[in-house]
């Protein structure tokens, strides 16, 4: 069974304090790994797709990386507006299958 585990559940950072969020996965052949950001009371917003080990994607202060077993979302010099829940999801290679989501990491950045 495909599975995604995110850690930590919650993370509190001072503004400017860089850190990483972890997404460990098991999947029967990875088609893609997806990162989303979700603000309170809103739907998840798509950030990145990673397709193969070694791939990296960047957007502003965020950088996502991928290995064969896990992905990291690195946050460099975060600001309070980066506070959100970050969700990771995987899609198996077998056909047009739905995403399997982790439970998310709730990030708080304090000024």
Partner 1 sequence: DVKVTQSSRYLVKRTGEKVFLECVQDMDHENMFWYRQDPGLGLRLIYFSYDVKMKEKGDIPEGYSVSREKKERFSLILESASTNQTSMYLCASSKLLQPQHFGDGTRLSIL
Smaller CB separation from partner 1, 19 or 38: 38
Please provide the distance, in angstroms rounded to a whole number, between the alpha carbons at the two ends of the chain: 41
Indicate the residue among 76 and 106 with the shorter CB distance to partner 1.
Answer: 106
Q: Is 31 in the site for partner 1 (CB under 8 A)?
A: yes
User: Which sign does the torsion angle of CA 83, 75, 105, 42 carry?
Assistant: positive
Classified as helix, coil or strand, 63 is strand
86 binds partner 1 (CB under 8 A): no
In the complex with partner 1, the residue whose CB is nearer, 61 or 100, is 100
Q: Which of 15, 45, 56, 58 binds partner 1 (CB under 8 A)?
A: 45
Kindly write out the interface string for residues 91-110 of this chain, putting x where it contacts partner 1 by CB under 8 A and - elsewhere. Answer: x----x-xx-xxxx------
Helix (H, G, I), strand (E, B) or coil at 52: coil
Distance CA 17, CA 42 (A): 26
Beta bridge partners of 6: 23
Question: Per CB under 8 A, does 55 bind partner 1?
Answer: no
Counted residue by residue, the chain has a size of 111
CA 74 to chain centre: 9
Interacting residue ranges for partner 1, rule: CB under 8 A: 31-32, 34, 36, 41-46, 49, 87, 91, 96, 98-99, 101-104
């Amino acid at each position: 069974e495909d599975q995604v585990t995110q850690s930590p559940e919650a993370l509190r950072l001072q503004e400017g304090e860089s850190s990483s969020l972890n997404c460990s996965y098991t999947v029967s052949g990875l088609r893609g790994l997806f990162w989303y950001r979700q603000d309170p009371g809103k739907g998840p917003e798509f950030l990145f797709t990673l397709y193969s080990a070694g791939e990296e994607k960047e957007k502003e202060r965020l950088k996502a990386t991928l290995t064969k077993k896990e992905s990291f979302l690195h946050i460099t010099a975060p600001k309070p507006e980066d506070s959100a829940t970050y969700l990771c999801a995987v899609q198996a290679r077998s056909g047009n299958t739905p995403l399997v989501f982790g439970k998310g990491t709730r990030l708080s950045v304090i000024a």
